[in-house]
Structure 1
Amino acid sequence: MNKVFKKIGAAFLAGALAISSLVAVPNQALAADAPNVNASAAIAIEESTGKILYAKDADKLLGIASMTKMMDEYILLQEIKAKKINWTDKVTISEYAHKISQDTSLSNVPLKLGEEYTVEELYEAMAIYSANGAAIALSEKLAGSEGKFVELMNKKAKELKLGEFRFVNSTGLNNSDLKGMQQVGDKNAENQMTAKGMAKLAQHLIQDYPEVLKTASITKKDFRPGTSDRIAMSNWNWLLPGLIYGREGVDGLKTGTTDYAGMCLTSTATQNGMRVITVVLHANGGKGSGQHNSARFDETNKMLDYAFGNFKLAEVQQKGSKIAKPKTADVSGGKEESVPLTAGQNVTLVVPNAAGKPNLETKVTLKNKTVEAPVKKGDKLGTMTVTLKGGDSLGYVDGKNVETVAVTAGADVEESGIMSRAAKAVGGFFKGIGNYVVDGVKGWFN
């Protein structure tokens, strides 16, 4: 009977342990299943790290429509920062900019032929209301002609390493909408980029010129109030708080719609200290028409819900903190034989919300196997890659798969004096002789 009860007890204990282990699983759960985004291409990234959280055909070259104006904004803000142009500078409206601005079937503010407008007025019209005539006028101011400006756009896209792209105008319109005045490409050409490239452009724009969000987040503003040019501008990004699909935390960036590109949106939002950038190209497979269709906002919301509901930023290593493996580097010619290794900067990763303490994979690569004294605290001795153990395969928007940080010396190591080095040398010499004698004595008995 005792043996029977022992077997029953063992079985009960094993079952209890199995059940308890199952109960513990949710604490180690990874992010929920990714959403099904109904678009030809889409991507979501965490802005500060560039970590990709979701991707669908993100390297597919597609039309980007008026999201093109994000590149216009980048180049303009770059010139403003360099003091090559000022917000109060005047822009004289050409026949080309005037003619496009009068087309009410396109997003526009009316511009008078030969009249002067400030750079700031045209910038706000372009960023808030997606005004196409204003975009052309600014391109002419910045480069002399839209054709020359397109050259700047292509050059900047290469410089920012945006991947595959094609720019043929400053507006994102199909060239057929430019009244026969297009300067680059054939009459049906249109700007193209990938979802990944758009996300990367948005990241550069936000990080290099964060003031862009002050304008991109404006929901309503009058263009030239108190004049005959006055027009009420309402932002086409209806995810902005206060608009029809308003979402808390959204503060940019740009919509776009053409027959070729479909409904597009590059959005950005912050929540709990994390900023996410999303891109949808050709939302809902192009079904529906006009700026008012909700598809691009619905599909963007799926990605924002997924990103904020499942991920968070975590600082996994602080600048100056000790590195676990290896803890030290060998030092040659110093008063100490080794120097502790520390992280040269803070390391922040995107981790699943449900995760406890992140389980990391690290790899340290030192410049030299042995460091020559003297060593100063903070000297860069190598690098360390950091990633989550068992992490996903999506990587980062710039193409890397891990975070890389500097490995630095955690302390000073002074160079040893002449006498100290001599003593070490003599000690090494006699140690060598001792080994020689021992080896010789052993030889006598062979």
Structure 2
Amino acid sequence: MNLPFRFARNLLLVATTVIVAAAPARAVTIPEAPAIEAKAYALLDFDSGELLAGNNPDARVEPASITKVLTTYVAFDEIRKGRLKLDDTALISEKAWRQGKDSSESRMFLTLGSRVKIEDLLRGIIIVSGNDASIALAEHLAGSEEAFADLMNAAAKKLGMTNSHFVDASGLPDPEHYTTARDLAILGRALIKEFPEYYKMYSERSFKYGIDHAQENRNGLLIKDPSVDGIKTGHTSAAGYCLLTSASRDGRRLISAVMGAQTWAYREQASLELLNWGFRFYETASLFGPAAAVGTIKVYKGAASEVQVGTLEPVRLTFPRGSKETMQVQNELSPRAIAPIAPGAVLGKATISVDGKVLKTVDLVALTEVQSGGFWRRLIDQIKLWIGF
């Protein structure tokens, strides 16, 4: 056998597929998602990020005051970066004050020319949906609400909200201010995942500032269902009644976005129907992870002769309840790797299926570092590679 032929034979081994788990197929009956009377809706699993159900999930809709979730996300990100503190104070401009004055039901009752703590503004936005608080925060962070909208759109792009565009911090109607049910669910997931310490504000039921009595959180599900801990309501005559909701039950979390319902009561009913359906008929599992290698690959020219392959983080999957027994994982691993190898270097892929349907394909990577070997090791292994050993 000549050398070029042996080398080509080894390259073909890269595509070899190994089935590492298999089970007989078993039918699992899942009823259709509830029929929701709204412009659009989406139901998202928090752990996996998978869309469990949706109707027009990518259709453009007006977010109304759910916009303020992105407003607070941008503020939380500024805190994370050290450019904002909760006890900083913002000056209340005439624009912010007048917007609150003109929005009799959506205001924090800020006083013109006063200075207000950022933490209070955040609660004013989250709990009582204050338009005045939203503008004051936007102006503090970017100088103007228009400039702040640029920060909002940059954040939306980073999060993968591909069908959204924002022009203000409050959610007032505008032809160029739009989003989708899916994008809002993505935003809700990011908010909870990245800022759990601040997300707790979304479960607070009332807030008092500038008036004698406390204002109630408009998310009625916080009272109706103890598993619900957020997120935000929205309403304008054009947008209809909207609700972005998150609930956690038995270690699982789901996020729903119901957009354009006819009444505030129905948006709550519809959200609960979706959540109940998702929790009842779907489950989540964790696969792989750094402590669960799926195989080893021979290493050439390295200080070690092999490297374990898997994923650096667990892979979370959502599938119909009861179908876990039908899961199959097909691994494709490179026949060899050449040092140096960094942790995370892609050395294969895994395709995960349930009931014959592909759920996800993930990269399989080196779980540890392999440094280059000494001179003689590199020389010997180079010769082996030449002769196809």
TM bracket (short chain): 0.7 to 0.9
SS of corresponding position for 2:121: helix
2:236 is matched with which residue? 258
CA distance in 2, matches of 1:114, 1:152: 25
Identity %: 27
SS of corresponding position for 1:294: helix
Going from structure 1 to structure 2, the CA distance change for 1:28 and 1:104 (only over 3 Å counts) comes to same
Q: Do the aligned residues in 1 keep the contact of 2:234 with 2:241 (CA within 8 Å)?
A: yes
CA deviations 1:170-209 (Å, max 9, x no partner) are 11122xxxxxxxxxxxxx5462101111111111211121
CA distance in 2, matches of 1:78, 1:334: 42
SS of corresponding position for 1:102: helix
How many residue pairs get matched?
A: 364
Give the CA RMSD over aligned residues.
3.3
Q: Which amino acid in the other structure matches residue 314 of structure 1?
A: A
Going from structure 1 to structure 2, the CA distance change for 1:344 and 1:212 (only over 3 Å counts) comes to closer
1:406 is matched with which residue? 364
1:371 equivalent in alignment to 2:337: yes
SS of corresponding position for 2:196: coil
Q: Which consecutive unaligned segments of at least 5 residues does structure 1 have? A: 1-24, 175-187, 394-400, 433-446
TM alignment of 1:15-414, pairs within 5 A? 28-103=27-102, 105-174=104-173, 189=175, 191-224=177-210, 229-240=211-222, 243=223, 246-283=224-261, 287-288=262-263, 293-323=264-294, 327-332=295-300, 341-364=309-332, 366=334, 369-372=335-338, 380-390=345-355, 402-408=360-366
CA distance in 1, matches of 2:87, 2:56: 42
CA distance in 2, matches of 1:423, 1:333: 6
CA deviations 1:369-409 (Å, max 9, x no partner) are 53235779x6735242343334668xxxxxxx625243326
Report the alpha carbon displacement of residue 55 of structure 1 after superposing the two structures with TM. 1.4
Report the alpha carbon displacement of residue 68 of structure 1 after superposing the two structures with TM. 0.3
> With structure 1 as the length reference, what TM-score do the two structures score?
0.72
Q: Which amino acid in the other structure matches residue 216 of structure 2?
A: S
Going from structure 1 to structure 2, the CA distance change for 1:381 and 1:143 (only over 3 Å counts) comes to closer
CA deviations 1:116-145 (Å, max 9, x no partner) are 222111211110010111111111111111
Report the alpha carbon displacement of residue 165 of structure 1 after superposing the two structures with TM. 1.8
Report the alpha carbon displacement of residue 275 of structure 1 after superposing the two structures with TM. 1.0
> With structure 2 as the length reference, what TM-score do the two structures score?
0.82
Q: Do the aligned residues in 2 keep the contact of 1:168 with 1:189 (CA within 8 Å)?
A: no
2:9 is matched with which residue? none
The structure with the larger Rg is: 1
Q: Which amino acid in the other structure matches residue 355 of structure 1?
A: S
Q: Do the aligned residues in 1 keep the contact of 2:302 with 2:377 (CA within 8 Å)?
A: no
Q: Which consecutive unaligned segments of at least 5 residues does structure 2 have? A: 1-23
CA distance in 2, matches of 1:306, 1:233: 32
Report the alpha carbon displacement of residue 364 of structure 1 after superposing the two structures with TM. 2.6
SS of corresponding position for 1:108: coil
CA distance in 2, matches of 1:65, 1:255: 8
